[in-house]
Amino acid sequence: MGRVKRMERVVALTKILVDHPQHLFSFSYFCKKFEVAKSTLSEDVLAVKNGLELFGLGRVETLAGAAGGVRFVPGRRVENDNEFLEELAVKLSSPDRILPGGILYITDILCNPQIVFKLGEIFLNRLQHLAPDYVMTVETRGISLALLVARAFNVPLVMARHDNYITEGPTVNINYVSGSSKTIRTMALPKRVLQPGKKVLIVDDVMKGGGTARGMMELVSEVGATVVGKAFLIATAEPEAKLIGDYTAFLRLHDVNEEARKITIEPIKG
């Protein structure tokens, strides 16, 4: 590679850091990659740090010492997060989202990479203090959301299933009661995906009665890990008494009135 201009290094450095949130790169890695001295690299890192923080696009952290380095931590301004959630609530309030039975259609939201990417960082902003080792969800439409939350935290995603799969080896199985339908269901977790003593953040798209989340909590307990948080994109206002407590939701769904063709949903500001 020929001589690289500083502008080109800064662009490449930014791309690498942003593509690997929370990953700690050693200074020697970038010095070797860009063929520059540590002092020169430090100036480049400072330029990236100032630019990202100036526009509220996250922050760059540097750690001193032999085990130190540089990493990008996703971060959005609280006011930007609130504005995004307000816009999302408006989008979800459209009457054409009402399905038969008073069900709110949100699949297109959860399949939109740009929306879910931003939601992953919003979850991180509010829950970063939990410092989970894993993000956990169940095999439903909330997988894409949980995956992007896991990416923002830079931790693995663990997925509970409703059936056993021979390809995943021995499993832990429980029966749980659905909080909304009051029916008994089964949930399974492969033993090798979650180690005892680890901290788990449970993530799902919608929480009604809290039965599914309660089931995941029991699975985590069965393998000797600890649930440090429960977070949902949408929590319904009814039933008011949930099977879990101390959870975080970003939108509150009050009502889906099929007859009046009206949806009442509001953002929960941070």
pLDDT in tens, 39-52: 999 999 999 999 99
Please state, in angstroms and rounded to a whole number, the distance separating the CA atoms of residues 31 and 250: 41
Strands 69-73 and 98-99: unpaired
* Amino acid, single-letter form, for residue 103: I
**CATH assignment of 6-73?**
1.10.10.10
pLDDT in tens, 66-117: 778 999 999 889 999 999 999 999 999 999 999 999 999 999 999 999 999 9
Predicted confidence band of residue 163 (pLDDT cuts 50, 70, 90): confident
Least confident of 174-178, 236-240, 254-258: 174-178
Average pLDDT over residues 49-67: 91
Cα–Cα separations (whole angstroms), residue 169 to 172, 188, 193: 10, 11, 10
Domain boundaries, the chain: 6-73, 78-267
Choose among 156, 240, 143, 145: nearest CA to 193.
156
More confident residue, 60 or 168: 60
Q: Which fold has domain 78-267?
A: Rossmann fold (3.40.50)
Q: Which two tokens stand for residue 13?
A: 């450095």
Class of residue 212 by CB neighbours under 10 A (exposed 0-12, middle 13-18, buried 19+): buried
Predicted pLDDT of residue 190: 87
DSSP string, 81-123: HHHHHHHHHHHHT-GGGEETTTEEP-HHHHT-HHHHHHHHHHH
Cα–Cα separations (whole angstroms), residue 141 to 54, 133, 196, 217: 36, 22, 27, 19
Q: Which two tokens stand for residue 90?
A: 């408006």
pTM for the full model?
0.90
pLDDT in tens, 185-238: 888 998 889 999 999 999 999 999 999 999 999 999 999 999 999 999 999 999
Please state, in angstroms and rounded to a whole number, the distance separating the CA atoms of residues 168 and 171: 8
Predicted confidence band of residue 135 (pLDDT cuts 50, 70, 90): very high
Please state, in angstroms and rounded to a whole number, the distance separating the CA atoms of residues 254 and 56: 32
Please state, in angstroms and rounded to a whole number, the distance separating the CA atoms of residues 35 and 111: 41
Predicted pLDDT of residue 3: 73
Predicted confidence band of residue 182 (pLDDT cuts 50, 70, 90): confident
